[in-house]
């Protein structure tokens, strides 16, 4: 993923007065008289083209001074993030509607979670993200990877019931730990979301949380739905023992706020400028402006 920016964006403040001056400050042209003006073609068309090229040259020169840069975050040298696994409940209860706002009232809980989780993934610019889905059992829907677009696409392919109709929270946590087992990241995080109670699977939440602590992983838990639908006490205990936090969301807006809060809590350490590998493009802006100026000077000399 390439992120574009300017080292000195404040230089663009000079653009409006320069363009105004270009419009108001007329060039004094000494009159010359020719008997056959028709031989010189359409003078008005040339003047319009000259005006456009002058504007373009000014914009390119100011853009070059602002120093455009591109940072390729797919380059491992520019990443200093964490590894995150989204563990998503796909049990039968996730098919219930009424969790969204007025526009999304007919969508199921699972569909709304897919959209919000996808938005969360795209915000984690420096991080690797994976997805685990659980029901009666758990499976890795997407391994931990930097390819955010692929992860979001994979989340969209998931459907409620793919892992069964029950809720194996222990399986969901344990499979998430497995997804992070080969991680070399300085920080590893699991964000588990469910709307039910643990009622299936061969791995208990107690056993799963031991694996979390052994691997040095931080666990966040999210319970969604009406109060009493999910095991509030269990989710809070798991988060406390996993070094994370427990959140509850009764509707779509609250769930968005939860993911936004986790996004704030789990910020990757920002590299200082001298340790970030930039690619500069000011030379192309400057070269473009120079070519236009040279051509305008040559064209004016021909006209004279």
Give the whole-angstrom CA distance, residue 109 versus residue 114: 9
Distance CA 180, CA 175 (A): 9
Structure confidence by residue, pLDDT tens digits, 53-77: 888 888 888 888 888 877 655 555 4
Over residues 12-27, mean pLDDT: 77
Residue 190 has phi, psi (to 5 degrees) of -115, 130
Q: Which residues of 119-130 are buried (b: 16+ CB within 10 A; e: fewer)?
A: ebbeebebbbbb
Work out the average pLDDT over 179-191.
89
Q: Parallel, antiparallel, or unpaired: how do β-strands 2-6 and 68-72 relate? A: antiparallel
CB 86 within 8 A of CB 145: no
> Do the beta carbons of residue 196 and residue 161 sit within 8 Å?
no
Mean pLDDT of 68-90: 73
Identify whether the C-beta of residue 83 lies closer than 8 Å to the C-beta of residue 189: yes
Most confident of 98-102, 249-253, 281-285, 292-296: 249-253
Q: Output the six-digit token pair for 127.
A: 């991080």
Give the whole-angstrom CA distance, residue 128 versus residue 124.
Answer: 8
Rg (CA), the chain: 29
The pLDDT assigned to 77 comes to 47
d(CA 265, CA 282): 36
Query: Which residue, among 157, 234, 255, 144, has the nearest Cα to 189 in the 3D structure?
Result: 144
Indicate the CATH number of 81-265 among 3.20.20.70, 3.90.870.10, 3.40.50.1370, 3.40.50.410.
Answer: 3.40.50.410
How crowded is the C-beta side of 171, counted as CA atoms within 13 Å?
A: 23
Q: What's the average model confidence in pLDDT over 259-279? A: 65
pLDDT for position 304: 56
Contact (Cβ atoms closer than 8 angstroms) between residue 282 and residue 68:
yes
Question: Of residues 62 and 87, which shows the higher confidence score?
Answer: 87
Least confident of 74-88, 200-214, 277-291: 74-88
pTM: 0.65
- Residue owning tokens 């009232």: 105
Euclidean distance between CA atoms 126 and 148, whole angstroms: 10
**What local confidence, expressed as pLDDT, does residue 272 receive?**
38
Q: Do 178 and 141 contact (CB within 8 A), yes or no?
A: no
Domain boundaries, the chain: 2-72+274-303, 81-265
């Amino acid at each position: 993923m390439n992120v574009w920016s300017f080292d000195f964006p404040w230089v663009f403040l000079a653009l409006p007065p320069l363009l105004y001056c270009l419009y108001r400050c007329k060039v004094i042209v000494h009159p010359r008289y020719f008997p056959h003006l028709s031989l010189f073609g359409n003078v008005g068309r040339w003047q319009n083209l000259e005006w456009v090229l002058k504007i373009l040259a000014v914009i390119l020169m100011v853009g070059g001074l602002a120093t455009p840069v591109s940072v390729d975050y797919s380059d491992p040298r520019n990443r200093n993030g964490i590894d995150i696994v989204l563990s998503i409940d796909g049990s039968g209860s996730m098919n219930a509607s009424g969790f969204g706002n007025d526009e999304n009232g007919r969508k199921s809980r699972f569909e709304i979670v897919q959209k919000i989780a996808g938005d969360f993934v795209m915000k984690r610019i420096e991080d690797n993200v994976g997805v685990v889905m659980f029901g009666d059992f758990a499976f890795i829907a997407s391994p931990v990877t930097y390819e955010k677009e692929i992860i979001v696409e994979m989340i969209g392919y998931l459907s409620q019931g793919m892992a069964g109709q029950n809720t194996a929270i222990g399986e969901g946590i344990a499979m998430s730990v497995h997804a992070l087992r080969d991680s070399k990241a300085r920080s590893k995080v699991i964000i588990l979301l469910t709307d039910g109670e643990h009622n299936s699977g061969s791995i208990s939440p107690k056993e799963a949380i031991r694996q979390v602590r052994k691997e040095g992983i931080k666990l966040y838990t999210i319970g969604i739905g009406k109060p009493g639908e999910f095991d509030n006490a269990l989710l809070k205990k798991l988060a406390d023992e996993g070094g994370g936090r427990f959140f509850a969301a009764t509707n779509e807006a609250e769930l968005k706020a939860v993911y936004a809060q986790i996004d704030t809590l789990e910020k990757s350490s920002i590299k200082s400028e001298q340790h970030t590998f930039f690619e500069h493009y000011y030379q192309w802006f400057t070269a473009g402006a120079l070519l236009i100026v040279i051509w305008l000077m040559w064209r004016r000399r021909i006209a004279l």
